[in-house]
Amino acid sequence: MTFTGPSSAPGGSPLVASALTKVYGSAQTATHALAGVNLTVHPGESLAIMGPSGSGKTTLLHVLAGIITPTSGSVSWRGEDVTTLSEARRTVLRRQDFGFVFQSGQLLPELPAVENAALPLMLAGTARTEATAVAARWLAHLGLAGMEQRRPGELSGGQAQRVAIARALVGSPGVVFADEPTGALDQSTGAEVLDVLTRATRDTGAALVVVTHDAGVARHCTRTVTMRDGRISGEFFAPEAQPAPGAAQQPVASTAVGQPAPLPPAPPAAPYDAATQAAMAAHPAAGYAPGSAAPAAPSAPSQESAR
Q: What is the pLDDT of residue 276?
A: 52
Residue 303 · residue 1 · CB < 8 Å: yes
Residues constituting the chain: 307
Q: How far apart are CA 139 and CA 285, in angstroms?
A: 35
Cβ-count burial of 32 within 10 angstroms (0-12 exposed, 13-18 middle, 19+ buried)?
A: buried
Residue 13: what pLDDT? 84
Mean pLDDT for back-to-back runs of 10 residues, the chain (307 residues)? 42 86 87 93 92 90 94 94 93 90 85 94 92 94 93 92 92 92 82 88 92 85 92 83 44 34 39 51 41 32 35
Q: Which CATH architecture has domain 1-97+174-185+205-307?
A: 3-Layer(aba) Sandwich (3.40)
Instruction: With beta carbons less than 8 A apart as the criterion, state whether 161 and 1 touch.
Output: no
> What is the pLDDT at residue 214?
82
Residues 6 or more apart from 80 whose CB is under 8 A from it? none
Q: What is the pLDDT of residue 26?
A: 83
Closest CA to 234 of 275, 204, 191, 175: 275
Q: How is the chain split into domains, by residue range?
A: 1-97+174-185+205-307, 103-172
In terms of C-beta density within 10 A (0-12 exposed, 13-18 middle, 19 or more buried), how is residue 71 classed? buried
For residue 191, the model assigns a pLDDT of 86
Q: Would you state the pLDDT for residue 5?
A: 40
So what's the pLDDT on residue 104?
A: 74
Q: What is the per-residue pLDDT for 246?
A: 43
* Sheet with 80-81, side-by-side order of all strands: 31-41, 15-24, 72-77, 80-81
Backbone angles phi, psi at 114, to 5 degrees: -65, -35
